[in-house]
Amino acid sequence: MNNEFIFQITRHNKTFTVHVVKKNVKRTSLRMNQFGEIIVTTNHHFKKEDVVRLLSLNTKILDNMINQMPKTCKENEIMLFGNVYEGVNIPSFQVDYKIVDKTIYYKNIDKLYEDALKEIEKQFNDFARIYPHKEKVQLFFRKMRSRWGVCYMQKNKIVLTTALVHVPKNIIQYVIVHEFCHFAQGNHSPAFYQEVSKYYPNYKEAQKEIKQYSYFLP
Ligand SMILES: [Zn+2]
């Protein structure tokens, strides 16, 4: 008897591989592995049409799995502000880099990220002008472990991780708002999130979305 089979489904215009593993189990379970494949573990009586029916009955679980899938990119790809580009290294290229549609041609990739940080700095300064009494806050970029930003309230300073260059700009906006609001509330209390929601009402969505980019945090 064949204990495994594979087929494909389409959801939100994307194709997913469904990997069915048959075991001596009572319950059928659904999960997604790190490659974005849907793994169905079930008993020996389950056929393909049973799995298809199961998936069509559990679209909410399926969509949750798809939405929480980590954003990654392959070695020859570049993730810039949430968009994936093919990276083509041309050592003799006449400029540091050039973006053409979905391809980034480059001889100096560091310059691309330097310029991306300048864009984030501008976004930061724009918000500093809006947030009360904080137009003189200092911004530093640093490679940070497992965090997107830190606010040093006494020093009037915010540090953002350089990994933000990979994250969509609307999510960067959430990180900026979050750190500024720490000047009003040092903790993550309900009062803090009330402050955040004044400047970023959809902060809960942003919190979920940013988790998908944690792959880029060293
Ligand atoms: Zn915080």
What is the topology classification, in CATH, of domain 110-216?
Zincin-like (3.30.2010)
Distance 114 CA to ligand 1 centre (A): 25
Q: Where in the chain is the domain with CATH 3.30.2010.10?
A: 110-216
Q: What is the pLDDT of residues 105-152, one digit of tens each?
A: 999 999 999 999 999 999 999 999 999 999 899 999 999 988 999 999
In the predicted structure, residue 56 carries a pLDDT above the cut 60: yes
3-state SS class at 209: helix
Beta strands in 12-142 (DSSP E): 14-22, 29-32, 38-42, 77-80, 83-89, 97-100, 103-106, 138-142
Distance 125 CA to ligand 1 centre (A): 19
Provide the terminal-to-terminal Cα distance of the chain, rounded to the nearest Å: 45
Q: What is the pLDDT of residues 144-199, one digit of tens each?
A: 988 999 999 999 999 999 999 999 999 999 999 999 999 999 999 999 999 999 99
H or E, element range at 160 = strand 157-161
Residue given tokens 């391809």 in the structure block: 103
Token couple for 122? 């501008």
Q: Is residue 201 very low, low, confident or very high in pLDDT (cuts 50, 70, 90)?
A: very high
**pLDDT over 70 percentage in the chain:** 99
Q: How far apart are CA 118 and CA 124, in angstroms?
A: 10
pLDDT confidence of residue 15: 87
Mean pLDDT of all residues in 28-35: 82
Distance 181 CA to ligand 1 centre (A): 8
CA 217 to mean position of chain CA atoms: 10
Specify the pTM: 0.77
Whole-number average pLDDT of the chain: 93
Q: How far apart are CA 115 and CA 60, in angstroms?
A: 39
Distance 138 CA to ligand 1 centre (A): 17
Distance 15 CA to ligand 1 centre (A): 36
Distance 187 CA to ligand 1 centre (A): 7
Among candidates 164, 170, 168, 193, which has minimal Cα distance to 181?
193
Distance 208 CA to ligand 1 centre (A): 15
